[in-house]
Structures are given as C-alpha cells and as structure tokens.
C-alpha cells in the first residue's frame, strides 16, 4: 500500500492546491501552517495514491535543492521532501494534463478538471467517466483510473453523440407537428390552413419554433429556462462543438469534456421530450374533437391525463388570444 497520497486542499478558493501527505489531516496542516488558515476552514480531498518510487525521486530532488539553498540540512540522513505541496514534475509523473482555455489555467487528473479563473479563484468540475450518471444508463460505463491499461473512450463518446442527435431529431419533429400552437390569433393570420401551418413550421429553425410558441402562449418560467438551455446546447452540438478548443474531439481531454456535455444534454432531453410529447398529444386531441368528422375514424392516440396536465402546467394561451 502506498505511503503517500495526493490531496486537493481547498481553503478560501484562491489558495487551493495539490498537497502530498499521508492523510487528510496532515494535508490540511501543510496549508494551515504556511498560510494561516483555521483548520476548520480547510478541506482535503484524496485524489490518488502516489507510487513509492516517486518518494525517492522527490527526496533526491529536495537534497539537490538543499545543497544550494539550505546547505545546513543537505546531508541530514532523515531529510525528506514530504509532506509538502505537489510540484509540477510530480503532477506530470502522475498523469496530470495542463492547458489554458478562455483565460483559465486548467489541470486534468482522473477526469476532474481543476480550473483557475482569470481572477485567481479555483473551481473543479468532472468530465469523462466521473460525469456519467445513473440516469443515462444507455451510455456505456467505464473505469479509466486504476484499471490498466488506459482505455479509449471512443465507444462511449460516439454512442453519446448518436443518442444526442437522435433526441434532437425526435424533439424537433414533435414540436414542428404540434399544431396546437396554430390556434392563436397571430398564427392564424400567418397560415390559412393546417397544411400551410405545417409547411411554414417545417421551415423554421428550432429557435424559430420556440419564438412562435411564445407568440401564442405564456410559458412557465422554469420551462422557458429549460427550453432556452436545450436550444443553446442543441445549437452547440450541431454547429461544430467538436472543433472548439474545450471540446476538441481530436484530443483525449476534449473527448472527456464532450462526453460530460453530452451526458448533461441527454439528461435535459428527458423533460424536454416529455413537454414536446404533451404538445403533440394535445394537438391530436384537438384534431379528434374538432377536425375529424363525427363518424370518421379518430386519429390513434395513446393519450394520458399526465401529458395533458403537463401541457396545461407549461403553457397558457395569452390573454389577448383568449379575448379575441
């Protein structure tokens, strides 16, 4: 079992750093003793074990440094580097990757990004395997940390891309065919028949669809925020996200960032698709009641009170349309 461990020590958000220690209390003590924090204000998160061979390398480097900067201790037989802050050579040996994105200094280790803003404040977020959650069981799970050899995540990534694009297509189809939004006065002025409406809405972008929906209906605030987020993420996905620096599909880091993005997007697709299904459900109900002749076959529909309730909770016909 490894004697030393790497910790991420958090304090005021500006002095956060990697520390090598044997336990979390020792890791916190390094920061407390050097920067004067109260022990209760410091948190140490274990990142990984450090191979014993790197302790020898650290002590050798420290002894060489001491010969120049602290000769009085250079020949001490009990001279050791740790516990102390993790130097860059150690982080590199442990597999840390470094980059700068949007003026942020970033370090990646075991699918956790340690990012420092231009203001100097640190924050962390998860990508790759650590970002995958139980709600997206369709995405292949994997362990890419202690189980060697290191695996290629292409299978997981391409599966997620395919699922995300499929969800985009299905959601946009449902919204584009939801002629419940044609009943407003503004939409009726634009289209004389339902066929005209379908032709017009088939030409709209998803953003155009959402704008037209807002012409006719007041949309519940949280639903509006979810729709806006979905639109923003959808646009990033279909308009070249894989070529951006953060999500560059040609790099290992970019692939892991993209997998986390897709995981979040697929989670968002679940409620958005339910809302879209409620719109088409209500549209077909309207057709069966008002458009289909009395003796004609009704449009087949697996209607549910749940979907009807969802629609009425999300959308309310604007007052001017009700008055007219």
pLDDT tens column, 53-68: 999 999 999 999 999 9
Task: Please tell me the predicted confidence (pLDDT) of residue 308.
Answer: 82
Residue 292 belongs to a domain:
yes
Task: Please tell me the predicted confidence (pLDDT) of residue 48.
Answer: 94
Count Cα atoms within 13 angstroms, Cβ side, for 113.
22
Residue 95 belongs to a domain:
yes
Task: Please tell me the predicted confidence (pLDDT) of residue 295.
Answer: 52
- List the structure tokens of 228: 């806006």
Task: Please tell me the predicted confidence (pLDDT) of residue 130.
Answer: 82
Residue 17 belongs to a domain:
yes
Residue 243 belongs to a domain:
yes
Q: Are residues 81 and 217 in the same domain?
A: no
Residue 142 belongs to a domain:
no
Q: Are residues 284 and 184 in the same domain?
A: yes
Average pLDDT of the residues of the chain: 86
Task: Please tell me the predicted confidence (pLDDT) of residue 260.
Answer: 92
Rounded CA gap, 41 and 43, in Å?
Answer: 7
Domain residues for the domain of 234 are 154-323
Q: Are residues 222 and 82 in the same domain?
A: no
Q: Summarize pLDDT for 99-155 with one digit per residue, the tens.
A: 999 899 999 999 999 999 999 999 999 998 888 766 677 777 776 676 555 667 888
**pLDDT higher than threshold 50 for residue 299:** no
Task: Please tell me the predicted confidence (pLDDT) of residue 112.
Answer: 94
**pLDDT higher than threshold 80 for residue 188:** no
Q: Are residues 295 and 253 in the same domain?
A: yes
Sheet containing 4-10, strands listed edge to edge, beginning at the edge strand earlier in sequence: 43-50, 4-10, 17-21, 84-85
- List the structure tokens of 180: 């419940």
Rounded CA gap, 30 and 196, in Å?
Answer: 71
Rounded CA gap, 144 and 112, in Å?
Answer: 12
CB neighbours of residue 138 within 10 Å = 9
Query: Is-contact 23 6, C-beta < 8 A?
Result: no
**pLDDT higher than threshold 50 for residue 252:** yes
| DSSP at 12 | S
Rounded CA gap, 57 and 47, in Å?
Answer: 20
Q: Are residues 94 and 169 in the same domain?
A: no
Percentage of residues of the chain with pLDDT beyond 70 = 84
Q: Are residues 194 and 79 in the same domain?
A: no
Rounded CA gap, 289 and 291, in Å?
Answer: 6
Q: Summarize pLDDT for 167-185 with one digit per residue, the tens.
A: 999 999 999 888 787 766 6
Q: Are residues 173 and 221 in the same domain?
A: yes
pTM score, two decimals?
0.81
Q: Are residues 162 and 296 in the same domain?
A: yes
Arithmetic mean of pLDDT, 250-275: 94
Q: Are residues 160 and 307 in the same domain?
A: yes
Q: Are residues 159 and 122 in the same domain?
A: no
Query: Is-contact 99 106, C-beta < 8 A?
Result: yes
Rounded CA gap, 14 and 120, in Å?
Answer: 6
* Domain-terminating residue out of 109, 126, 143: 126
Q: In 3-state terms, what secondary structure has residue 214?
A: helix
Q: Are residues 49 and 163 in the same domain?
A: no
Q: How confident is the model at residue 42 (pLDDT cuts 50, 70, 90)?
A: very high
Residue 133 belongs to a domain:
no
**pLDDT higher than threshold 90 for residue 49:** yes
Q: How confident is the model at residue 186 (pLDDT cuts 50, 70, 90)?
A: low
Q: Are residues 161 and 121 in the same domain?
A: no
Residue 244 belongs to a domain:
yes
Query: Is-contact 27 44, C-beta < 8 A?
Result: yes
Residue 258 belongs to a domain:
yes
The number of folded domains in the chain is 2
Rounded CA gap, 23 and 219, in Å?
Answer: 52
């Amino acid at each position: 079992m490894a004697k030393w461990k790497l910790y991420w020590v958090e304090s005021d958000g500006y002095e956060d750093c990697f520390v090598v220690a044997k336990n979390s209390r020792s890791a916190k003590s390094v920061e407390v003793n050097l920067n004067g924090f109260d022990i209760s204000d410091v948190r140490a998160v274990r990142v990984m074990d450090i191979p014993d061979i790197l302790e020898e390398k650290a002590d050798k480097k420290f002894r060489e440094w001491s010969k120049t900067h602290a000769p009085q201790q250079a020949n001490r037989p009990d001279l050791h580097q740790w516990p102390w802050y993790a130097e860059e050579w150690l982080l590199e040996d442990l597999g840390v990757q470094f980059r700068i994105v949007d003026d942020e200094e970033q370090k990646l280790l075991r699918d956790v990004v340690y990012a420092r803003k231009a203001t100097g404040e640190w924050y962390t977020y998860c990508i790759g395997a650590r970002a995958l959650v139980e709600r997206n069981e369709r995405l292949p799970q994997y362990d890419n940390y202690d189980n060697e050899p290191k695996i290629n995540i292409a299978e997981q990534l391409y599966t997620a891309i395919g699922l995300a694009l499929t969800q985009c297509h299905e959601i946009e189809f449902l919204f584009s065919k939801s002629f419940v939004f044609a009943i407003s006065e503004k939409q009726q002025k634009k289209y004389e028949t339902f066929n005209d409406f379908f032709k017009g809405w088939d030409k709209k972008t998803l953003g155009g669809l959402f704008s037209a929906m807002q012409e006719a209906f007041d949309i519940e605030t949280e639903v509006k925020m979810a729709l806006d987020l979905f639109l923003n993420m959808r646009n990033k996905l279909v308009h070249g996200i894989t070529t951006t620096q953060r999500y560059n599909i040609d790099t290992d880091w970019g692939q892991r960032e993209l997998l986390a993005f897709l995981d979040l997007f697929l989670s968002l697709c679940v409620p958005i698709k339910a809302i879209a299904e409620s719109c088409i459900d209500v549209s077909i109900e309207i057709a069966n009641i008002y458009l289909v002749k009395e003796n004609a076959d009704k449009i087949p529909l697996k209607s549910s009170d749940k979907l009807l309730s969802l629609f009425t909770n999300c959308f309310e016909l604007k007052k001017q349309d009700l008055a007219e």
